[in-house]
Structure 1
């Protein structure tokens, strides 16, 4: 399959490396214009040994020939990426979106079949084009909008699963998207604001904040016909925080490394959708404002951390 990856982040490079290991795939990567010079190969750390793989660069004009395009970008880069690349992509080419947070429906392109890829695999950059697969996980893929035949859905799932198992097709991908969003709405801002690892938010003192965040979240989700139980959702979030106790959340890591955060597409998404639905979300609004301010100012006494 002819596949183009858009984005050279840790997850984008992980999918590029894994997909390119299959001889049946012809995989290219399209990097951002901020990369002045791209190398001819990437490095992948496996079992303590660095492996090398050729980097085959794509260009906008090559996109028309792609049979699948996978966007692995920060949520705030999608609108610009759609504007830049969609004119070069065939309307018949499926697009897979892989990112944290949620994109507003009205910002999504209408001409292509859009799928979302939710993954729990962890990848870490050691250098610009050198990564390590730091945590095994699973991936869910499903259709967000547009039309996709059962045959194509099966083919795409098989290609991804052969590269990076286990990848599962989901008919209920939006519910899983919202479940992941709930986890991000709690763990990301609380760890960022308190400059702590994920496990710290399982302490009793954080429970009122967690319940308040999720109570607003559930109201907004319910208005979208996505139903959650507060007790069960709280237990899920705490379980994830505990199972990743020593991890640094992506939002905290972004602030520690002076990068923009995705708060506008996580808690900020709940705020914007709540406003549209006339649902009050003061807690999520306060978190969005606080993290935005923190992102601008930076954390005091920054300590080294990895994402």
Structure 2
């Protein structure tokens, strides 16, 4: 396979998917969008707004039932759609297909590995900020870091060949030989910010500015830290107060994705955020009443 001519198919052409499609295309990569109602060969115009500049690109689209092979697949769907979305195109995946999972939350990674053990599965997490202004129009809200690593640990953890062109296209991309700490750090922060902001219908910054909300953050964070330690991530547990405070401050004007989902009447990713944390807590017999109460409150609000 000629990785210099890698053709990226993107499942989940929302804000982050569109942002990465734009970056890969700008670097000269061939990019196709897989849409639920996509028509093979139809052109979709996507605009990415960065400050006062707008980058407009035209991408070929395809539906899941297409027949052209897929060599490189970037998945940026909602967590609860990851497995079904990949399953919808499984007949198109090349035997040596590279799949990058860049969706929020945890739990689906293990499911994909179990269902596609022979393929090259990678996991990633990004702090790039982006949100949709309208269909096909994305605002880049802030630059961040994107970390990618293998979903399953193997003896040879060197960067794959495709990552060389990826890091040229995607600013501040890092190959992580052990991606689990990065995934757990993101999970821990999301377990604090997402449910609290969603239930209190507030911007992230209010978790630090409001005394009553700040008083809810600390004990919730302590429960999460206990689960991190039990899972072998003591460094994350120790750093969690500092990291959480820094993210709340840095994203003070943001509305969490979970709050946006509830406001829009959509499903939330709570099962793959707090729900996943609760599953791991149960495995270690750790009591997490505050996280469980938030989980049940979000579930009752969202359904």
2:241 to 234, 240, 253: 234
- What corresponds to 1:118 in structure 2? 125
1:257 deviates by 1.8
* Residues 1:205 and 2:212 are matched in the alignment: yes
* Residues 1:40 and 2:47 are matched in the alignment: no
Structure 2, unaligned runs of 5 or more: 1-5
Is the contact made by 2:150 and 2:157 (CA closer than 8 Å) also made in structure 1? no
CA distance in 2, matches of 1:248, 1:281: 25
Correspondences of 1:145-160 after superposition (within 5 Å): 145=152, 153-160=159-166
Correspondences of 1:268-283 after superposition (within 5 Å): 268-283=275-290
- What corresponds to 1:50 in structure 2? 54
- What corresponds to 1:28 in structure 2? 32
Is the contact made by 1:42 and 1:54 (CA closer than 8 Å) also made in structure 2? yes
Alpha-carbon RMSD across the aligned residues, in angstroms, is 2.5
- What corresponds to 1:221 in structure 2? 228
1:199 deviates by 0.9
- What corresponds to 1:6 in structure 2? 11
1:167 deviates by 0.4
1:219 deviates by 2.9
- What corresponds to 2:260 in structure 1? 253
What's the TM-score, normalizing by structure 1? 0.86
1:248 deviates by 0.9
1:72 deviates by 0.6
* Residues 1:102 and 2:106 are matched in the alignment: yes
* Residues 1:142 and 2:149 are matched in the alignment: yes
- What corresponds to 1:295 in structure 2? 302
Change (3 A) 1:219 1:168: same
What's the TM-score, normalizing by structure 2? 0.87
Name segments (4+ residues, structure 1) moved above 6 Å. none
CA distance in 1, matches of 2:147, 2:49: 24
Is the contact made by 1:113 and 1:146 (CA closer than 8 Å) also made in structure 2? no
CA distance in 2, matches of 1:112, 1:212: 41
CA distance in 2, matches of 1:26, 1:34: 17
1:57 deviates by 1.3
Is the contact made by 1:8 and 1:32 (CA closer than 8 Å) also made in structure 2? no
1:285 deviates by 1.2
CA distance in 2, matches of 1:22, 1:229: 35
Instruction: Give SS of 2:19's match.
Output: helix
- What corresponds to 1:17 in structure 2? 22
Is the contact made by 1:63 and 1:88 (CA closer than 8 Å) also made in structure 2? yes
Change (3 A) 1:224 1:232: closer
Structure 1, unaligned runs of 5 or more: 297-307
1:45 deviates by 2.2
CA distance in 1, matches of 2:15, 2:67: 22
Aligned residue-pair number:
293
- What corresponds to 1:65 in structure 2? 69
CA distance in 2, matches of 1:272, 1:147: 25
